Amino acid sequence: MPSFDISSKIDLQEVDNAVNQARKEVAQRYDFKGSKAAIEFNRAENTLTLVADDEFKMRSLWELLEGRLVKRKVPVKNLTPGEIQHGANDTVRRDIALQIGIPTDASRAIVKFLKDRKIRKVQAAIQGDEVRVSSPSRDELQEVMGLLREEDFGVALQFGNYRE
Does residue 14 or residue 32 have the better pLDDT? 14
Instruction: Calculate Rg over the CA atoms of the chain.
Output: 20
pLDDT of 33-71, one tens digit each?
Answer: 888 888 999 988 889 999 988 888 888 999 999 999 999
Report if pTM > 0.85: no
On whether both 138 and 159 belong to a single domain, the answer is yes
Which of 98, 119, 146 is a domain's end point?
98
CA separation for the pair 40, 21 (Å, rounded): 12
Query: Domain limits at 138?
Result: 3-8+102-163
Q: What is the pLDDT of residues 77-98, one digit of tens each?
A: 888 888 888 877 788 989 999 9
Could you tell me if 90 and 123 lie in one domain?
A: no
- Number of Cβ within 10 Å of residue 73's Cβ equals 9
Torsion of CA 41, 66, 146, 119, to 10 degrees: 60
Residue 109 and residue 82 in one domain: no
Quick: pLDDT tens for 127-164. Answer: 888 889 898 888 888 888 888 888 888 888 888 877 77
Tell me: pLDDT of 115 over 90. no
**Taking each helix axis from N to C terminus, what angle separates 138-150 and 104-117, rounded to the nearest 10 degrees?**
120
Give the residue among 47, 71, 69, 57 at the shortest CA–CA distance from 26. 57
Residues 111, 89 share a domain: no
As for how many domains the chain has, the answer is 2
